[in-house]
Chain A
Amino acid sequence: DGGITQSPKYLFRKEGQNVTLSCEQNLNHDAMYWYRQDPGQGLRLIYYSQIVNDFQKGDIAEGYSVSREKKESFPLTVTSAQKNPTAFYLCASNHKAGDYYGYTFGSGTRLTVV
């Protein structure tokens, strides 16, 4: 079955460390997205990519970095510059056009700073 796989489900980061969250899809979707979810704040867009080797900043990109070397993969690195990284991170994907089925979401990664 096609879908999006996020790993790990839980991640703990020490102060000053960089960590990378994995997102892989086998839906042949063109576009991929990273969102951050905090209680009571809905979803905030971090980065998105419409095509391989290209990506754009979302609303809260500071302290994060991404790469899109393959269509299937869109890893997110939370750097030490992100001052408050504890949150639930969601990856999503969709087709470029004509896709009324909306986004497909992964099951999320909960990142905690210890």
Chain B
Amino acid sequence: GEDVEQSLFLSVREGDSSVINCTYTDSSSTYLYWYKQEPGAGLQLLTYIFSNMDMKQDQRLTVLLNKKDKHLSLRIADTQTGDSAIYFCAERPSGTYKYIFGTGTRLKVLA
């Protein structure tokens, strides 16, 4: 099947770390992505990871990839109220440039 699964909600306190998880099903996926959507807006690419990598760090963002379990996570360090948004993971299976998106995780940051 082509299902990318995410939990729907996550709530954290300002200053804590947030971890958003994603499970994908296509082991041929070459690239995996994290997008952020603020209210009433389109999706903004946050970061991506190539399938031969285990980890990628970009300032406050850390992406971990467990290819064996088809598990992707996004850690946001020192979470701020401006990080409140919906976060989507997406995969790009090999041989196609059509992406498969997860259902999105709504992150709420409490002051």
Contact = CB atoms under 8 A, between A and B. Distances in A.
Nearest to A100: B31
B24 interface: no
A102 B45 contact: yes
Interface string A85-114: 000001010111101111111111010000
Contact of B99 (A4, A40, A96, A102): A102
Of the four ranges (under 10, 10 to 19, 20 to 34, 35 or more), the interface on chain B belongs to 20 to 34
A31 interface: yes
Contact of B40 (A97, A101, A110): A110
A40 B8 contact: yes
B31 A42 contact: no
A95 B43 CA distance: 17
Contact of A102 (B31, B41, B42, B102): B31
Contacts of B33: 102
* Chain A: interface size category: 20 to 34
Contacts of A106: 42
B101 A107 contact: no
B42 A108 contact: yes
Given A31-B97, A40-B8, A43-B88, A105 B103 contact: no
Interface of A: 4, 6, 31, 33, 35, 40-43, 45, 48, 50, 90, 92, 94-97, 99-108, 110
